[in-house]
Amino acid sequence: MRKPHRRWADLAALIVLCVAGLGVPAQASAPDPDLDEGGFGVQLMEAPAERRKDPRARRSIVDHLPPGTVIRRRVQLANHTDRRLRIEVYPAAASIGKERFQPAEGRATNELTSWISVERDHVDLNPGQKAPIKVTVQVPPTASAGERYGMVWASVTAKATSSANVGRTHRAGIRLYLNIGPGGEPASDFAIGDLVPARDTQGVPSVAIKVRNTGERALDMGGQVRLSEGPAGMRAGPFEVLKGTTLAPGETGTVTARFPREVPNGPWRIDVDLQSGMVKHSATGQVTFPDPGQVGEASTLYDRLTTPWGLIATSLVVGLLIAAGLVIAARRSRRRTKVGVG
């Protein structure tokens, strides 16, 4: 029996707010300031008790489910406008590619969407009103092992006007990351690679951090970067990395941190702390920012000397140096012996 769900009624963040225009209008659709600026939203209200410390599980439906499992999650719809709204609710397909979580257009389906049902397909809300909706995921007993991705959308279509004869559709949604399979959940993990400094043409410095997903679950990367030991002992940060990098199992991508234009070229010590859910890794290196419009040299991480592979490589080098020293000493000893005999 699965553990009882923990409710997150105090979660305040709106989830994955995005705007999508549907259809092929004869004229451009008219903007709607209320809806464009977060006039409505959907938020996840509960998560499994065993994931209560996982920040991803507070905003997305993240779980590992054996075939034949049924889970239910409560989400809340909210109308933040000053008018009555009809909010439609439905599941739709999603995928991960090119380092991004990619919701499909419209109401596209995949295998996961066929397992999802919503308590009501639409809700009419007055200004300031909220309403809960139950989302059910029923995994078939014959489901194959692997990752599945999807969305639960809340959607509002603005009415057509005299200046735009086709309404514009606005969507806010909750992501689903489900792993199907028997036994325990597959491990999540990642490795931090090279750090590449750069400055854009406006002189704004940045660092591109290579990350490889070495686990078996998708990752949503986040974290912070600090600069220290710069010119005259300067320090800067922490700076949040740009959000939006999602990596499928086995995928390598880039996480970027940007800094104020006034940050000098350096050199700098750079400390990187990255996280996806409960998985955290840190790395330290040295970077020197180039001139505007250029990319600098990649930094070799200090921490690589303390990784298992780094220790092995270091041990091999030390061993080779010792062996070479012994050979040289033996040769010198032989030469001295020959001189003494003569």
- What is the tens place of the pLDDT at every residue in 21-64? 333 232 333 455 556 556 899 999 998 888 988 999 999 999 99
pTM above 0.75, yes or no: yes
Residue type for 340, please?
G
What's residue 301's pLDDT?
82
The average pLDDT across 250-254 equals: 98
The average pLDDT across 212-239 equals: 97
What's residue 276's pLDDT?
97
Number of residues that this document lists for the chain? 342
Tokens 């996982």 sit at which residue?
Answer: 54
Nearest Cα residue to 203 out of 291, 287, 308, 326: 291
Q: CB-based burial of residue 108 (10 Å sphere; 0-12 exposed, 13-18 middle, 19+ buried)?
A: middle
What's residue 335's pLDDT?
55
Which residue intervals of 17-165 are DSSP H helices?
33-36
| Domains of the chain as residue ranges with CATH | 5-180 (2.60.40.10), 190-302 (2.60.40.10)
Q: Which two tokens stand for residue 273?
A: 């702390």
pLDDT band at 323 (very low <50, low <70, confident <90, very high): low
Please count the other Cβ atoms lying within 10 Å of the Cβ belonging to residue 340.
7
What's residue 84's pLDDT?
96
CB 236 within 8 A of CB 287: no
What's residue 92's pLDDT?
98
pLDDT band at 195 (very low <50, low <70, confident <90, very high): very high
Q: CB-based burial of residue 173 (10 Å sphere; 0-12 exposed, 13-18 middle, 19+ buried)?
A: buried
What's residue 159's pLDDT?
72
Q: Which residues pair with 307 in a beta bridge?
A: none
User: From CA 17, how far away is CA 172, in angstroms rounded?
Assistant: 4
| 303 secondary structure, DSSP code | G
User: From CA 155, how far away is CA 72, in angstroms rounded?
Assistant: 21
Phi, psi at residue 305, to the nearest 5°? -70, -15
pLDDT band at 300 (very low <50, low <70, confident <90, very high): confident
Q: Which two tokens stand for residue 100?
A: 């991004």
What's residue 325's pLDDT?
61
194 CB contacts (<8 Å, ≥6 apart)? 210, 298, 299, 300, 301
Cα 109 to Cα 60, 66, 73, 239, distances in angstroms: 19, 22, 20, 38
User: From CA 194, how far away is CA 272, in angstroms rounded?
Assistant: 11
Nearest Cα residue to 178 out of 284, 289, 70: 70
The answer on pLDDT for 192 being more than 70 is yes
User: From CA 213, how far away is CA 228, in angstroms rounded?
Assistant: 28
Q: CB-based burial of residue 183 (10 Å sphere; 0-12 exposed, 13-18 middle, 19+ buried)?
A: exposed
User: From CA 257, how far away is CA 237, in angstroms rounded?
Assistant: 11
User: From CA 124, how far away is CA 255, in angstroms rounded?
Assistant: 40
The average pLDDT across 107-124 equals: 98
Average pLDDT, the chain: 84
Sign of CA dihedral 75, 135, 93, 182: positive
The torsion angle over the Cα atoms of residues 170, 56, 254 and 110, rounded to 10 degrees, is -60
Q: Which two tokens stand for residue 84?
A: 């009555």
| 160 secondary structure, DSSP code | P
User: From CA 54, how far away is CA 49, in angstroms rounded?
Assistant: 10
Percent of the chain with pLDDT over 90: 70
What's residue 144's pLDDT?
98
Radius of gyration of the chain (CA): 27
The average pLDDT across 141-155 equals: 98
What's residue 163's pLDDT?
55
